[in-house]
């Protein structure tokens, strides 16, 4: 440096050097020198020394800080990126960004987040920019991003504005919380399912209590009207009026059973059933709850073959589809159409239906509502997805229908057009072999007998009615309204009774407890349990205690006559 200045006329230069001080410390000095040898009066160097120790320390600290920043930037497991505040163009990204979003540095540097469509929800970007503009910093903004493969990611984003080289940049640190959010969603679903299960359990308990009381009220209406039909000529006005009373009572009994089956979680048993019979019950129930200004039309093929299914679950399918159709037409009114027919399905002709070729029962529920938005069509069978307003749906109806249909080896398809309504088609395989069905209205002579029956029920009116029924059938009856008194009478002379008919719900000793005491005295005594709420009975446990048959209240004379003969003759009853 000195040689250069000394041998170059008019040369001026600066240099940084470290000096050893007297106390042993070092200082950084900036030396500025000028060549004055051309001046005959001076002939030397002009030097200026400036202490720059603090500046050098600051430079070193800045260099170390920048190195630490670069290290943290590139090794952080979180996604870190630098963007220009002005246009959002990426300046740099780290490996965490690549891991989260799938983009390489070459993919993004020089491009903006908008150009790459990274923001899944544009409102998240607006919130970020508004926060930075107002406060210069944003912390823990939950945002949705779309990665290079089109997958949505949920992340927590913190950002602040940095001034670097006279330019405003955004430093963003983003942490992936997708798995955590999914876990939270699953917990929320489980909580909702638990809440739904508890609600259904409460509804079931309430329905059971209502059913017991309601069936006790219906029992005299059904039983007395049935017996009175035998007391008047079939063509008389009295007989016609009584028949209407009997039909109304029977419909009330069916309505209670429908409520119970809809509100209870019971074991599902598949049997050969005819869907048209279930639809008849469902339509009765729906017609009583859907306003009269909404038309319900039906086109049900009476000869549609049976399917192997659980009746309660088929009931659920029909109820859910018709309820959905009602909600679709409710705002402006309209028409709901329920169709059932048996058809030959050929897979090659309709490959979108995931079924093998064969015979199927096809249930169609069509409405004239607003239709389904094509954007959500692929979500309608997802659990908890609903487009209904709050309080009108849980998002479980169609998911339940889908699960039941698939479990029964069928399929469900949806046809919808905006403004023209929707149509749901349920396919269920028809059984190959069918058995002849005895018409419901076919009159058959009732079986009778002369045995001695011990009758027990805590409702005096029901005991009076059942005693009349039994005596008309030829039986000798001893009746009690107290289970304790009945047990005492049986204990006095166990051999004089041929059969016990007892109510389930009674004070002191209920039906099961009474049966246990009776069998302990006489193991071979047959017992029929009469109840208005079957779900409260464990039939296997009841059979172990001597119960051989069951009667559901309100009991008709025909049901009682046939059940008594089956039990006395040792035949299996349901």
pLDDT tens-digit profile of 109-158?
A: 999 988 998 999 889 999 999 999 889 899 999 999 999 998 989 999 99
Please, which pLDDT band fits residue 21 given cuts at 50, 70 and 90?
Answer: confident
CA torsion angle 462 467 468 471 (round to 10): 160
CA distance 220 to 436: 33
CA distance 536 to 19: 99
CA distance 527 to 502: 8
- Among residues 354, 369, 461, the alpha carbon closest in space to that of 417 is found at 369
What's CA 474's distance to the chain center, in Å? 54
CA distance 465 to 446: 17
State the DSSP code for 374. Answer: G
350 preceded by a cis bond (ω within 30 of 0): no
CA distance 398 to 324: 9
Q: Is the pLDDT of residue 102 over 70?
A: yes
pLDDT tens-digit profile of 182-206?
A: 888 788 777 766 776 666 566 666 6
What contacts 16, CB < 8 A, 6 or more positions away? 28, 29, 30, 31, 52, 56
Choose the weakest-confidence range: 100-109, 319-328, 377-386, 469-478.
377-386
Q: Is 61 left (phi over 0), alpha (psi -120 to 50) or beta?
A: alpha
What stretch of H or E contains 489?
Answer: helix 483-492
- Among residues 163, 186, 159, the alpha carbon closest in space to that of 175 is found at 159
In order, the DSSP letters of 399-458 are HHHHHHHHHTT-EEEEEEETTTEEEEEEEEEBPSS------TT---PPP----EEEEE-S
CA distance 364 to 344: 15
């Amino acid at each position: 440096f000195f040689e250069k200045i000394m041998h170059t006329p008019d040369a001026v230069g600066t240099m940084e050097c470290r000096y050893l001080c007297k106390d042993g410390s070092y200082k950084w000095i900036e030396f500025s020198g000028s060549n004055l040898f051309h001046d005959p009066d001076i002939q030397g160097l002009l030097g200026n020394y400036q202490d720059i120790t603090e500046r050098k320390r600051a430079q070193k600290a800045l260099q170390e800080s920048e190195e630490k920043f670069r290290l943290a930037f590139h090794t952080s497991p979180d996604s870190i990126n630098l963007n220009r505040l002005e246009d959002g163009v990426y300046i740099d990204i780290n490996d965490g960004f690549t891991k989260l979003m799938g983009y390489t540095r070459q993919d993004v540097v020089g491009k903006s987040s908008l150009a790459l469509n990274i923001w899944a929800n544009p409102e998240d970007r607006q919130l970020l920019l508004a926060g930075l503009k107002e406060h210069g910093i944003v912390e823990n903004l939950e945002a949705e991003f779309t990665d290079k493969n089109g997958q949505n990611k949920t992340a927590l984003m913190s950002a602040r504005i940095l001034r670097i080289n006279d330019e405003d940049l955004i430093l963003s640190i983003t942490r992936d919380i997708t798995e955590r959010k999914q876990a939270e969603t699953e917990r929320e679903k489980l909580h909702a399912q638990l809440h739904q299960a508890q609600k259904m359990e409460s509804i079931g308990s309430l329905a059971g209590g209502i059913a017991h009381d309601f069936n006790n009220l219906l029992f005299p209406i059904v039983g007395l009207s049935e017996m009175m039909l035998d007391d008047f000529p079939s063509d008389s006005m009295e007989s016609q009026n009584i028949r209407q009373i009997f039909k109304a009572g029977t419909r009330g009994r069916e309505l209670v059973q429908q409520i119970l089956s809809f509100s209870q979680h019971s074991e599902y048993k598949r049997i050969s059933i005819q869907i048209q019979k279930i639809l008849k019950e469902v339509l009765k129930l729906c017609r009583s709850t859907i306003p009269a200004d909404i038309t319900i039309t039906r086109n049900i093929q009476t000869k549609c073959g049976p399917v192997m299914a659980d009746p309660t679950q088929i009931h659920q399918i029909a109820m859910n589809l018709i309820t959905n159709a009602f909600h679709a037409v409710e705002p402006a009114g309209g028409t709901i159409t329920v169709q059932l027919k048996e058809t030959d399905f050929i897979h090659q002709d309709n490959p979108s239906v995931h079924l093998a070729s064969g015979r199927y029962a096809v249930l169609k529920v069509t409405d004239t509502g607003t239709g389904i938005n094509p954007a959500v069509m692929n979500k309608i069978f997802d659990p908890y997805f609903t487009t209904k307003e709050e309080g009108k749906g849980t998002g479980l109806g169609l998911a339940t229908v889908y699960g039941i249909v698939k479990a029964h080896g069928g399929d469900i398809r949806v046809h919808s057009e905006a403004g023209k309504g929707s149509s749901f088609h349920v396919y269920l395989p028809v059984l190959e072999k069918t058995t002849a069905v005895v018409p419901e209205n076919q009159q058959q002579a009732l079986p009778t007998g002369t045995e001695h029956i011990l009758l027990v029920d805590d409702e005096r009116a029901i005991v009076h009615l059942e005693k009349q029924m039994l005596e008309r059938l030829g039986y000798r009856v001893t009746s009690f309204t107290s289970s304790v008194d009945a047990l005492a009478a049986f204990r006095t002379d166990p051999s004089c009774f041929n059969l016990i008919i007892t109510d389930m719900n009674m004070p002191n000793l209920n039906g099961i407890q009474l049966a246990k005491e009776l069998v302990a005295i006489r193991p071979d005594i047959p017992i029929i349990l009469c109840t208005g709420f079957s779900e409260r009975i464990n039939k296997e446990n009841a059979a172990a205690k001597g119960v051989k048959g069951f009667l559901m209240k309100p009991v008709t004379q025909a049901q009682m006559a046939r059940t008594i003969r089956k039990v006395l003759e040792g035949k299996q009853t349901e």
